[in-house]
Amino acid sequence: MSYLEELNDAQREAVVNFEGPTMIVAGPGSGKTRVLTYRIAHLLKQGADPFGILALTFTNKASEAMRQRIEKIAGTNARNLYMGTFHSVFARILRVEATQIGYPSNFTIYDTEDSRSLIKSIIKEQGLDDKIYKPNQVQWRISAVKNALITPQLYAEDPELQTEDKNQRRPATAKIYRMYCERCFKSGAMDFDDLLLNTHIILEKFPNVLYKYQHKFKYVLIDEFQDTNHLQYAIVKKIADVFQNITVVGDDAQSIYAFRGATIDNILNFEKDYPDLKVYKLEQNYRSTQNIVKAANELIHRNRNQLKKEIWTQNDTGEQIKMVRTPSDNEEGRWVADSIMELKMRDHHMNNDFAILYRTNAQSRAFEEALRRQNIAYKIYGGMSFYQRREIKDLLAYLKLTVNHQDEEALKRVINYPARGIGQTSLDKIIITAANEGRLIWEVMDQIHQYDVPARTKHSIEEFVMMIKSFAAQSVKMNAYDLAAHIGKTTKLITELYNDKTVEGLARYENIQELLNSIKEFVEDDEVPENVVTPDGELLHTDKSLGTFLQSVTLLTGDEKDSGNQDTVKLMTIHAAKGLEFPVVYVVGLEENLFPGQQSLYSMEDLEEERRLFYVAITRAEKRLFLTYANTRYKYGQLNYCDPSRFLQEIPEGIVSHHGDLKKAKVMQQRNANAGAANRTAFTRTAPLSNSSDPSGSSEPFIADDATGLQVGMEVMHEKFGEGKVIVIEGAGANKIAGIQFAGYGIKKIMLKFAKLKILSGGM
């Protein structure tokens, strides 16, 4: 069978009509990669010179996969294509042309760490405070302006940029930028952004070079065009200007990388640059069921800025989309893990069939813990396990050292983080001294006045020891959460992360807050875990100390090893999920101020990007789609009542089935629907939606009654689970446990001395 016979009519038209400017708008699951691959193969089969074809992708993996498929159709000619990522292709061009701007042809390419190291050196040499001029923040700033075509000279002359730097107390940023570029030039080095910027500069300044590449590349093709930034498009537009055989492939509805500098304007306004543009729309979805496709269409049609298309499929109608409400984020994690286990047992799914998608990395914790409890193998895709993240291990090390001063691994991890003037040389001397004297490192530090150590270092060590001892003393009076929050604040660890305003810095700060939230929930949780109750109903332990929390974390993560098992449930952010597909998808945390995020509620552009992100999430699903949200979630140590995401209301009711205690959610949903309707008209907000409602729908704060006299038959209201009835009382005294039947949640065992219950009616 000919390769063209494998295509549907729309795909075939997009493949064979290869002359002139072309835009292929490819919906999710519509065979975009196949069309782009076959278009290039068809060019070669029609006699096009492979050296004259420039094909640009965003990942090396995508590029290599496409090249292999093209070679199967068009033969070894495919090896001569100019195909690769923007950075790799432009680096190849610069190896030939870099001498035009004074670089050697064998220039070095600095990776992210190399660049950051150089910036660190400049900050230090200039005597600047690296707590204000954080190297990663300065690096992010330099990268952003390079991709906006702003050179050091233009940066220094731009009053708006200078004002921004002064407001952020970093007025020397322009000087650092200039010195950084000068140092790179002297070292014959380019960073990743220079590969783009210098290519543009050469094409701009040297008409002969521009002429050469304009006539070399007769055909230019760009994959994932919606993800390009201003600089990338500026370069390819110049190169394609003579023949204008430029083909862009993408989907504006999947433009989700504005935070990386991508601009949706490139694809939305492409026709303005090429009035003779031919547009092909790939609208048949081969991936998902009709219900999932219908949900995606209804959702994305709400966006104003879009290229209109109607995705359709010949697949089965499929199951209804399941919308699930749980009482808390931890319950959400348990529900998802239980659902995965049920589907595995009932329908013989493999772990690989499942994906859990969330808005922020910090959300992974509850799902990781729930999956471990069920012994379900999982993998964090494009990231690492919550408790393996550096910032989490840092704060946990402080907590461990507070509980146990003899924990030398914890001590070595945090003794100089955040920096307090105890360098590695000083620590090495202490370690050697301790080894020679057969003592612990802590013991040497506790008696540092006896040793010959520089006065400044000695003072820093004494302060550190005193601080840790003070934490230990306070652990007697403070619960685990208050103590952990106090430690994070006193050590300046939280401040250090809060001040880092890069995308990575904000994620690390969110992770620390999530760890504190988990400790707060541990302290306030009145539900009795199964592993602390004997078959006779006797409690093994009920304390809420920091030591108990650390023990629970250690037991949960102690067997965390990479077994090499490829059959794993995948956990990932929605950004990381783009381009992937799974039979069963759980999109979780669908609450206002989380998804969409609070920062996106004040402009139409940001809100529409959040909607596109949700569109990407639901179109990852092939057969089954679950949308979950929690009624309560801890934030900054406070229990917040959550409103369902406005996006849930944008999915047609006829294709959705609801699960959870929906009766008690009705008030919230109605209020949110009213507010959301008004908001969709204006697209602006003066304040976030209210999150003050309790499970009863009342706006009054939840105040618990004294539950020590609880009796069988009493009707109660729980802060998370709503209304329930006491069916059994077990234990005695401080260890009393009530078994309460809650509508929608089954029987929950509640520890009465921690219970958060309102008593609604008397018992037997």
From the CB of residue 241, how many other CB atoms can be counted at a distance below 10 Å? 12
User: Annotated catalytic residue: which of 570, 620, 720, 748?
Assistant: 620
User: Annotated catalytic residue: which of 214, 254, 263, 457?
Assistant: 254
Q: Is 216 a catalytic residue?
A: no
Q: Is-contact 356 324, C-beta < 8 A?
A: no
Residue type, 143: S
User: Annotated catalytic residue: which of 194, 223, 394, 446?
Assistant: 223
At 527, is the secondary structure helix, strand, or coil? strand
Cβ neighbors of 562 (< 8 A, separation 6 or more) are: none
**Residue 22 has what DSSP assignment?**
E
Q: Calculate the CA 90 to chain-centre distance.
A: 29
Cβ neighbors of 513 (< 8 A, separation 6 or more) are: 362, 635, 636
Q: Is 686 a catalytic residue?
A: no
Q: Which of 239, 225, 231 is nearest to 271 (CA)?
A: 225
Q: Is 247 a catalytic residue?
A: no
CA distance 406 to 403: 9
Q: Is 32 a catalytic residue?
A: yes
- Exposed/middle/buried for residue 428 (C-beta within 10 Å: 0-12, 13-18, 19+): exposed
CA distance 237 to 246: 8
CA distance 70 to 76: 9
User: Annotated catalytic residue: which of 97, 224, 332, 608?
Assistant: 224
User: What are the structure tokens assigned to 615, written together?
Assistant: 């569109």
User: Annotated catalytic residue: which of 33, 85, 137, 139?
Assistant: 33
CA distance 267 to 236: 13
Q: Is 223 a catalytic residue?
A: yes
User: What are the structure tokens assigned to 331, written together?
Assistant: 């319950």
Q: What is the 3-state secondary structure (H, E, C) of 432-471?
A: HHHHHHCCCHHHHHHCHHHCCCCHHHHHHHHHHHHHHHHH
Name the one residue in this structure whose structure tokens are 């521009």. 210
Q: Which of 305, 234, 396 is nearest to 683 (CA)?
A: 305
CA distance 143 to 231: 12
User: What are the structure tokens assigned to 501, written together?
Assistant: 């305003």
User: Annotated catalytic residue: which of 11, 12, 22, 32?
Assistant: 32
CA distance 667 to 424: 58
Q: Is 620 a catalytic residue?
A: yes
The residues annotated as belonging to the active site are 32-33, 223-224, 254, 620
